[in-house]
């Protein structure tokens, strides 16, 4: 690697390249904010970050609704920007506009043993949940495309939750296999384990659009309040005077996240039967709305600029494509093709 120096010749520390992506599913929810999005924003202060809008990945489940994906991309990028991701501090790009990604995916798929893909735990699980129509070539090959996303940008570090570690390990295996045949061309990425909280949805299960239990970042205050009112709580607490268990209650999760200074007192009052769920929900909705208000205001202002998302993606994709083209040229040269 070439050592970097500033104008005075002093060495500049290498900012490690961080790669992460998100599949566009439209408007993001609070779980995305507390999980990936806050990590993306924090990392863009410390590394050279490449953030991919993974629209080809979206085709694994929406292969018959391509036009929906374009609308989903716009909504997701608006949420990224409104939450504080700054395109001047990181590269935000659209996966499908970089044809080098698709080419490298074909190359790496040739040397990835089928058995490696079939053993991915989520493969069978997801087909059981979402239906056999998903059993496509592309869905099985999803981990190869994910590997390419990282490898083509020469991602050195990848933020992952504990549950995604096996996927990253598979990517490392595929990259090692390529390097074994053709020399050390591709970078083996290291995981950056992030302590992503499991954000509960309104029904107490993990917040997810597929469970229809999400609170969207772009929702109105009224919509948020209405959703919080129906939120699952500790089933043992029927009356205000019943002792509750805040540690298992989704409402309390949000109190801790968005009203942390009062969390201990809320927990104490819940446990000792001095706080009722109706009152607590109203209080939590107030704090959640207050925390999201600046993001929602920014989002409305950004959405009023019809070409903004397109421009951000065009500039980021131009930068990312330069890196991708160089990686693919190195791969082709190493392979003698
Ligand atoms: S009082 Fe609050 S924390 Fe306790 S069970 Fe009800 S909603 Fe949950």
| Structure confidence by residue, pLDDT tens digits, 91-106 | 999 999 999 999 999 9
Indicate whether residue 237 lines ligand 1 (CB < 6 A).
yes
What is the Å distance from ligand 1's center to 34 Cα? Answer: 21
What is the Å distance from ligand 1's center to 223 Cα? Answer: 20
What is the Å distance from ligand 1's center to 263 Cα? Answer: 11
**Protein residue with its CA nearest to atom 4 in ligand 1:** 270
What is the Å distance from ligand 1's center to 178 Cα? Answer: 53
User: Using an 8 Å Cβ cutoff, are 81 and 302 in contact?
Assistant: yes
Q: Which residues pair with 94 in a beta bridge?
A: 53
Which pLDDT score is estimated for 11? 54
Cβ neighbours of residue 126 closer than 8 Å, sequence gap 6 or more: 134, 139
Ligand 1 atom with minimal separation from the 267 CA: 3
Which pLDDT score is estimated for 9? 59
**Protein residue with its CA nearest to atom 5 in ligand 1:** 234
pTM: 0.91
Work out whether the CA dihedral 199, 77, 94, 186 comes out positive or negative.
negative
Indicate whether residue 244 lines ligand 1 (CB < 6 A).
yes
User: Using an 8 Å Cβ cutoff, are 28 and 40 in contact?
Assistant: no
Please give the mean pLDDT across all residues of the chain: 93
Cβ neighbours of residue 237 closer than 8 Å, sequence gap 6 or more: 243, 244, 245, 270, 277
Pairing of strands 90-94, 11-12: unpaired
Indicate whether residue 77 lines ligand 1 (CB < 6 A).
no
pLDDT digits (tens, 9 = 90+) for 135-171: 899 999 999 999 999 999 999 999 988 888 999 999 9
Indicate whether residue 275 lines ligand 1 (CB < 6 A).
yes
pLDDT digits (tens, 9 = 90+) for 291-312: 999 999 999 999 999 999 999 9
What is the Å distance from ligand 1's center to 197 Cα? Answer: 19
Indicate whether residue 267 lines ligand 1 (CB < 6 A).
no
Indicate whether residue 252 lines ligand 1 (CB < 6 A).
yes
Which pLDDT score is estimated for 1? 34
Question: Which residue, 150, 143, 176, 184, is CA-closest to 331?
Answer: 184
Indicate whether residue 246 lines ligand 1 (CB < 6 A).
yes
What is the Å distance from ligand 1's center to 233 Cα? Answer: 6
pLDDT digits (tens, 9 = 90+) for 33-87: 998 999 999 999 889 999 999 999 999 989 999 999 999 999 999 999 999 999 9
Which pLDDT score is estimated for 15? 76
Tokens for 9? 């010749």
CATH topology of domain 209-301: Tyrosyl-Transfer RNA Synthetase (1.10.240)
Mean pLDDT value of segment 176-181 = 98
Element spanning 327, H or E: helix 308-335
Q: How many CA atoms are closer than 13 Å to the CA of 166, on its beta-carbon side?
A: 8
Indicate whether residue 227 lines ligand 1 (CB < 6 A).
no
The full DSSP string for 75-114 is HHHHHHHHHT--TTTEEEEEGGG-HHHHHHHHHHHHTS-H
Q: Which residues pair with 17 in a beta bridge?
A: 48
Which pLDDT score is estimated for 145? 98
- Give the domain ranges of the chain: 4-199+306-335, 209-301
**Protein residue with its CA nearest to atom 6 in ligand 1:** 277
Instruction: Tell me what percent of the chain is helix, strand and coil, each rounded to the nearest 5.
Output: 60, 10, 30
Q: Which residues pair with 19 in a beta bridge?
A: 50
Which of 204, 237, 264, 287 is the best mutation target for the ligand 1 pocket, counting ligand atoms within 8 Å of the beta carbon and taking the most?
Answer: 237
What is the Å distance from ligand 1's center to 31 Cα? Answer: 20
For 4-199+306-335, CATH number?
3.40.50.620
């Amino acid at each position: 690697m070439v050592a970097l120096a500033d104008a005075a010749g002093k060495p500049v520390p290498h900012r490690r390249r961080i790669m992460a992506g998100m599949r566009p599913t439209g408007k993001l929810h609070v779980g995305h904010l507390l999980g990936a999005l806050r990590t993306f924003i924090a990392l863009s202060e410390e590394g050279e970050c490449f953030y991919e809008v993974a629209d080809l990945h979206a085709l694994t489940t929406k292969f018959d609704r391509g036009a929906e994906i374009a609308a989903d991309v716009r909504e997701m990028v608006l949420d990224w920007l409104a939450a504080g991701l700054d395109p001047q501090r990181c590269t935000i790009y659209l996966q499908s506009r970089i044809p080098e990604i698709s080419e490298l995916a074909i190359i790496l798929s040739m040397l990835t043993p089928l058995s490696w893909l079939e053993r991915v735990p989520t493969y069978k699980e997801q087909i059981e949940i979402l239906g056999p129509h998903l059993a496509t070539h592309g869905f099985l090959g999803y981990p190869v495309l994910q590997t390419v996303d990282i490898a083509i940008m020469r991602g050195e570090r990848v933020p992952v939750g504990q549950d995604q570690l096996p996927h990253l390990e598979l990517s490392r295996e595929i990259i090692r296999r390529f390097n074994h045949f053709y020399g050390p061309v591709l970078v083996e990425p290291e995981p950056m384990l992030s302590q992503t909280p499991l954000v509960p949805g309104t029904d107490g299960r993990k917040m997810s659009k597929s469970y229809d239990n999400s609170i969207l970042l772009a929702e109105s205050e009224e919509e948020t309040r209405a959703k919080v009112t129906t939120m699952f709580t500790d089933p043992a607490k029927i009356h205000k005077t019943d002792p509750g268990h805040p540690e298992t209650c989704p409402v309390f999760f949000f109190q801790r996240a968005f009203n942390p200074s009062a969390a201990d007192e809320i927990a104490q009052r819940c446990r000792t039967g001095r706080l009722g769920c109706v009152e607590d929900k109203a209080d939590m909705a107030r704090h959640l709305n207050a925390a999201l208000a600046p993001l929602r205001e920014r989002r409305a202002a950004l959405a009023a600029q019809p070409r903004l998302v397109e421009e951000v993606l065009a500039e980021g994709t131009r930068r990312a494509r330069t890196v991708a083209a160089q990686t693919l040229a190195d791969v082709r040269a190493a392979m003698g093709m």
